[in-house]
Structure 1
Amino acid sequence: MSAQRILLRDAMVVTMDDGLGDFARGSVLIEGDRVAAVGPHLEVADVEVIEANGFILLPGLVNAHMHTWQTALRGAAANWTLLEYFRWMHAGLATRFRPEDIHVATLAGALNQINCGTTTLVDWCHNNPTPAHTDAAVAALQEAGIRAAFFHGSPKPEPRPGERHFSEIPHPRAEIERLLAGPFAQRDGKLSLGMAILGPHYSTLEVSLADFRLSRELGLVASMHQGGGPARAPEGWDVLEAEGLVGPLVNIVHGNDLPDDRLARFVEKGVSFSVAPENEMVQGHGHPITGRLRALGAAPSLGVDLESVVSGSMVAVARAALSHQRALDNAASRRDRQQIPETTTINVREALSWITRDGARMLGQQDRIGTLTPGKQADLVMLRLDDFDLWPVHDPISTIVMQSHPGNVDSVMIAGRWHKRHGRLLGVDLGPIRANLAASGQRILSELGWPDGQRKATA
């Protein structure tokens, strides 16, 4: 049987491909799971035609960092600092999760990402004390149908008497090998595997060396949080650099406290960075490093981080990153030159790149996703440009970044298959998911005596 062929005709097309450019009125041809052609006037026979006049067509968004297992706890951590989060989430609420809690949270979180226009999710799963928890998360990602990079992590409870602290436990090689032989055996599918390790900020030097070497041996991205309190191994980065273990397979999340010289070396070595601007500003990580990376000729990928704190919209994340860095740039100009900049320091196209092309680059998948380019995967989003809150559209990228929200997302395609159409998710009954999600969150919170759970978690 021949592959499915779809022609999306006469849309306002934002390709994010600098070679192709954008089209005020253009068409995109999909064959199977790939983009076959993009242009202003495509005449194609034997094809399903979808009239896309009245829509903005753009690449699927990339959420480069999210702890999807916390979806059932939406809003519960909105008033917590980072220190409270460590205490009340990791040492408290996280310890109450069963595999079925991980499953429903990951399923609901992934479906919400699709609903918001995200087609690729980096699920940074670090509440998986058993293989059953891990398998529940992976199964949920498969069920949702999203393109996902599952970053396998490790839980961070307070140790019981006689147990080692989590900072002293290397990443489990056997579990990574089990996953590589199982659901991630197909390296070119929608699912990919990474390692969500502790890094030198949250582990001993010996553990960091073991984890970085395992990542290098298996060719997997090693992603780690950097920042928040004193480092467990203050000399860690010096040793890791000296050992030649810092390079393109390393992904740093946050990185707010990295000194300028080290940040410059990391950029030179090809390290990627995932910034969670809204959550970092809320919880006290420090200023997002967006501008510091730009000054070095680099760009961040962006992530939601925690739906227990902020919303799951990647457009909102991009807008927060852009607004924050413009504010810093404007303040610096007023301080140093006694005037605001003569023109804006960051344009909206760059912000859109952070959640498309730069997210793809962080995963090493820039040859597959991130732009609407012939040969790449058919991951795309259709926004209704005639919605009253968007109309009239003078500049589609400005409309996407500065005006739009998930309610404007009409349709979402992943690998050539529609997952949202005419404003509704397809092939999923949200009723049972909503009920199970609520029951999961209520049980977990009630076990800590919510709303007094904070006090009980610190006891």
Structure 2
Amino acid sequence: MGCNAMNKILIKNAHLISMDDNIGDLLDTDILINDGTIERVEPSISTEAEIIDAKNYLICPGFINGHIHTWQTGLRGIATDWTLSDYLASIHAGLASFYEPDDMYIGNYIGALYQINTGSTTIVDWCHNNPTPDHTDAAINGLIDSKVRGIFLHGSPKHKPKEGMPHYSEIPHPQDEIIRLKKGYFSDEDMLTLGMAVLGPQQSTLEVCKSDFTLARDLNLIISMHVGGNFLTPHGFSVLKEENLLNNNTNIVHANNIPNEMLDLLVDSSCTFSITPEEELQMGFGNPLTKRLIERGGTFNFGSDIESAMAADMQNVIRFALQAVRHEFTLENYERNHSPPSSMSVTTRQAFEWLTIGAAKSFGIDGKVGSITPGKKADLIMFKKNKINFVPMHDPISSIVFHSNSNDVDTVIINGVILKRDGQLITKDLDAKLETLAVSGHRIMHQYREMQAMEKKEG
């Protein structure tokens, strides 16, 4: 079917940060969007379309949040003083078990809407609380209804096993469920892409690792795993490499303190890495992996991780990530030369690349998003240039990375659909949905505290 004017959006006179080396940064540029796709980027386009006057606006690609447990949106703020052991004991061995499918839906729906509100147009949803297919379906429907673009990484819960049941480290990822999802929700991957969130060598046996990685390879899925601390299968990655099961669909999360030899093996195998610096430093993981990956030419992205502990705005994440890695390079220079560095180790533009085209390359979606390029999907965001925190604007990228917050995101377009305009989300019944999230979160916390009280009484 041909597209009429109602399918077209023409953005006029924009200050463009394209993140496409062949286009660059341009003033007074027009962008024509046709049926969800960027059709033209050039001055003075004239055609019948919905017009957006972007004079005095910055336009850039939407941000990509490379690692977020969106289902935890209803637990905002409970983990700000938790250690890793607190988190594992309270979330996976406790709170997660009280989630009903409706809780998964509303957490993912509001969590994804919040990502849109902050300027993230693609999220990598590491969803590892799927005890039943109903929970999984609800989580996916929350993303669908929000209209966010995403990669849904299906994971299984890590509840304490009941007597006579195998430990979760001995249970392969549910193949039937992955195939069901692949044939159902993800038969069309225009907006959502399926992947697997697995235990990996740190938390599962070698047999389980082989089973999970083989399934991901056979279905051409991203396979992602948390890495850090002691390994249940220390030689797991070496065996997986020998069997040609490591590749650019293998995504490693955290991995702050893995030995150089293991890191070299993973980088050499084209694995990608997701870094969540705020959460990693809070919970004692050690320095983020950023510096070591830069030195090795590794492929990486950044994520907000858990809203139970911190805000999920990618502007906050990338500022924190950039200053943390600069600090590491500075310390190294002091050790070598007994002085601060004479030049900046990592630039603000590099950090902005991490948010956009670099993250897209991490997940193999750079042919679809990550830059404002004709032929790519129309996922872009707009900032007013005359905001009190932007004027005078000497460097647009510095303004976004170091001076912006979610309130500065004026307009968000995903797949050619305007989802935020004039600083307001375009959605129905938001107040009622927020109340549903509040009821869900309070009920889960109440049930968890009742369980704690019962255990204390019995203990």
* TM-score past 0.5 threshold: yes
What is the CA distance between 1:447 and its match in structure 2? 1.3
1:73-92 equivalences in 2 (<5 Å): 73-92=75-94
What is the CA distance between 1:43 and its match in structure 2? 2.6
**Cα distance, 1:22–1:455 mapped onto 2, change above 3 Å:** farther
Deviations 1:75-118 (A, max 9, x none): 11111111111111100111111111111100010000000001
Q: Distance in 2 between matches of 1:305 and 1:15?
A: 27
The secondary structure found in structure 1 opposite 2:151 is: strand
1:34-433 equivalences in 2 (<5 Å): 34-39=37-42, 41-187=43-189, 189-227=190-228, 229-433=229-433
What is the CA distance between 1:196 and its match in structure 2? 0.5
**Cα distance, 1:61–1:257 mapped onto 2, change above 3 Å:** same
| Matched residue type, 2:377 | Q
What is the CA distance between 1:452 and its match in structure 2? 7.5
Count of aligned pairs: 456
| Matched residue type, 1:251 | N
**Cα distance, 1:320–1:217 mapped onto 2, change above 3 Å:** same
Q: Distance in 2 between matches of 1:287 and 1:158?
A: 30
What is the CA distance between 1:456 and its match in structure 2? 5.9
Q: Distance in 2 between matches of 1:55 and 1:358?
A: 24
What is the CA distance between 1:457 and its match in structure 2? 12
1:24 to 24, 27, 37: 27
What is the CA distance between 1:204 and its match in structure 2? 0.9
In 1, are the aligned partners of 2:3 and 2:34 still within 8 Å (CA)? Answer: no
Q: Distance in 1 between matches of 2:307 and 2:192?
A: 22
Q: Distance in 2 between matches of 1:428 and 1:212?
A: 41
In 2, are the aligned partners of 1:12 and 1:396 still within 8 Å (CA)? Answer: no
In 2, are the aligned partners of 1:88 and 1:457 still within 8 Å (CA)? Answer: no
The secondary structure found in structure 2 opposite 1:449 is: helix
Q: Distance in 2 between matches of 1:298 and 1:14?
A: 25
In 2, are the aligned partners of 1:149 and 1:191 still within 8 Å (CA)? Answer: yes
Under a length normalisation based on structure 1, what TM-score does the superposition of the two structures give?
A: 0.96
Percentage identity across aligned positions? 41
Deviations 1:390-418 (A, max 9, x none): 21111110011111000101010000000
**Cα distance, 1:432–1:317 mapped onto 2, change above 3 Å:** same
In 2, are the aligned partners of 1:87 and 1:458 still within 8 Å (CA)? Answer: no
Q: Distance in 2 between matches of 1:363 and 1:12?
A: 28
Under a length normalisation based on structure 2, what TM-score does the superposition of the two structures give?
A: 0.96
The secondary structure found in structure 1 opposite 2:342 is: coil
Q: Distance in 2 between matches of 1:209 and 1:105?
A: 32
| Matched residue type, 1:106 | N
Q: Distance in 2 between matches of 1:218 and 1:299?
A: 22
What is the CA distance between 1:15 and its match in structure 2? 0.5
Deviations 1:351-400 (A, max 9, x none): 11111112211221110000001100000000122110121111110011
Q: Distance in 1 between matches of 2:457 and 2:248?
A: 38
In 2, are the aligned partners of 1:88 and 1:454 still within 8 Å (CA)? Answer: no
What is the CA distance between 1:30 and its match in structure 2? 1.1
The secondary structure found in structure 1 opposite 2:308 is: coil
| Matched residue type, 1:444 | I
What is the CA distance between 1:265 and its match in structure 2? 2.6
| Matched residue type, 1:35 | I
Q: Distance in 2 between matches of 1:6 and 1:136?
A: 32
Q: Distance in 1 between matches of 2:93 and 2:457?
A: 7
The secondary structure found in structure 1 opposite 2:448 is: coil
What is the CA distance between 1:160 and its match in structure 2? 1.1
**Cα distance, 1:238–1:411 mapped onto 2, change above 3 Å:** same
Q: Distance in 2 between matches of 1:432 and 1:223?
A: 34
What is the CA distance between 1:138 and its match in structure 2? 0.6
In 1, are the aligned partners of 2:381 and 2:409 still within 8 Å (CA)? Answer: yes
Structure 1 unaligned segments of length 5 or more: list them: none
In 2, are the aligned partners of 1:301 and 1:362 still within 8 Å (CA)? Answer: yes
Q: Distance in 2 between matches of 1:339 and 1:382?
A: 41
In 1, are the aligned partners of 2:13 and 2:30 still within 8 Å (CA)? Answer: yes
What is the CA distance between 1:242 and its match in structure 2? 1.6
What is the CA distance between 1:454 and its match in structure 2? 12
What is the CA distance between 1:133 and its match in structure 2? 0.3
**Cα distance, 1:112–1:238 mapped onto 2, change above 3 Å:** same
| Matched residue type, 1:232 | L
Q: Distance in 2 between matches of 1:22 and 1:309?
A: 36
Q: Distance in 2 between matches of 1:404 and 1:141?
A: 26
The secondary structure found in structure 1 opposite 2:418 is: strand
In 1, are the aligned partners of 2:248 and 2:269 still within 8 Å (CA)? Answer: yes
